[in-house]
């Protein structure tokens, strides 16, 4: 019976909610583990499951006491969310009267503060990206200057077309398409505008000669749109040359937000620039700036210690 109920729910999330194959596969894996757990406790269907069962499962997947692999907090939280969705569906379908998962909370996931680097480190990375001869360094410098100037995700930057960039004086901006293809216009400074102008004049046409014609802004040596992996490699090589360790594809975006807030920008302005749906997501950066303020205070105030 549990197996039939699971298949019905998976069919629902596939057809009615339109979830991707990968997401449905993750649901099947997580809920299959819950199905096995309930069967082991003598529960033939969701109607027999109790709050104690759900709570015990939530605890067991974090320790591996159910016989499976112990899950990290984020994975355990995702699994509990899937379990709660299945129980809600059972109530909606009339299989059960009550939802035993209603007040079982996912394990809290510790917030990881975004990594930001100093403005000096950013400058060294940008300088190294543009070091060398040929069209490659011109493109690489333009790409990273744009990412830092706009706070764009790497995927947003490589998704740009030529017409998405405005470089006229007083109108320098870029049209970014974020999650859900939501568009936002972000202003860019003179450094990024100059780097982009140099790329468009000196490098893009040369790269485009190898391709079949594309509207993409950033091109690879074959004249096609630059891939995310190639963009990540550009950043990695530039940061290694600059002697800056621990740099990820999101580092320049995190640094963009942190530097703006440190300079006095309003958090809601930064939210708009980053394309966050909620200001709560942006506020994690305020913890980074508060840490910096505490360090400065401790080092400079005569009665801090």
184 is catalytic: no
Max distance between CA atoms of the chain, in angstroms, equals 72
253 is catalytic: yes
301 is catalytic: no
Handedness of CA 46, 47, 48, 50 (dihedral sign): positive
Of the listed 33, 139, 259, 276, which one is catalytic?
Answer: 276
250 is catalytic: yes
Query: Cβ(251)–Cβ(115) under 8 Å?
Result: yes
Of the listed 78, 141, 253, 259, which one is catalytic?
Answer: 253
181 is catalytic: no
Of the listed 179, 182, 236, 294, which one is catalytic?
Answer: 179
Q: Count of residues for the chain? A: 305
Tokens standing for 219?
């091109």
Helix, strand or coil, per DSSP, at residue 289: helix
Helix, strand or coil, per DSSP, at residue 146: helix
Of the listed 41, 51, 228, 250, which one is catalytic?
Answer: 250
285 is catalytic: yes
Of the listed 84, 107, 124, 153, which one is catalytic?
Answer: 153
What are the residue numbers of the active site? 153, 179, 250, 253, 276, 285
């Amino acid at each position: 019976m549990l197996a039939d109920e699971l298949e019905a729910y998976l069919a629902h999330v596939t057809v009615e909610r339109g979830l991707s194959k990968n997401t449905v596969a993750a649901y099947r894996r997580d809920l299959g583990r819950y199905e096995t757990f309930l069967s082991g406790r003598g529960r033939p269907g969701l109607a027999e499951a109790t709050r104690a069962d759900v709570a015990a499962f939530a605890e067991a997947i974090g320790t591996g006491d159910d016989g499976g692999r112990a899950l990290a907090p984020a994975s355990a939280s995702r699994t509990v969310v899937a379990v709660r969705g299945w129980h809600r569906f059972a109530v909606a379908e009339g299989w059960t009267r009550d939802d035993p998962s209603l007040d079982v909370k996912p394990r809290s996931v510790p917030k990881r503060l975004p990594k930001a680097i100093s403005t000096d480190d950013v400058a060294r990375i940008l300088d190294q990206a543009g070091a060398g001869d040929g069209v490659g360094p011109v493109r690489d410098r333009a790409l990273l200057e744009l990412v830092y100037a706009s706070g764009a995700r790497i995927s947003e930057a490589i998704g740009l077309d030529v017409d998405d960039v405005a470089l006229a004086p007083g109108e320098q901006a870029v049209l970014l398409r974020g999650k859900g293809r939501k568009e936002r216009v972000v202003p860019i400074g003179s450094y990024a505008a100059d780097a982009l102008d140099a790329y468009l004049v000196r490098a893009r046409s040369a790269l485009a000669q190898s391709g079949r014609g594309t509207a993409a802004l950033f091109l690879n040596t074959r004249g096609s749109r630059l891939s995310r992996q190639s963009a990540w490699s550009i950043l990695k090589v530039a940061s290694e040359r600059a002697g800056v360790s621990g740099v990820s594809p999101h580092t320049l975006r995190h640094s963009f937000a942190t530097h703006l807030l440190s300079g006095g920008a309003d958090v809601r302005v930064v939210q708009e620039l980053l394309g966050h749906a909620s200001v709560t997501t942006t506020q994690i950066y305020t913890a980074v700036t508060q840490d910096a303020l505490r360090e400065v205070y401790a080092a400079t105030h005569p009665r801090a210690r």
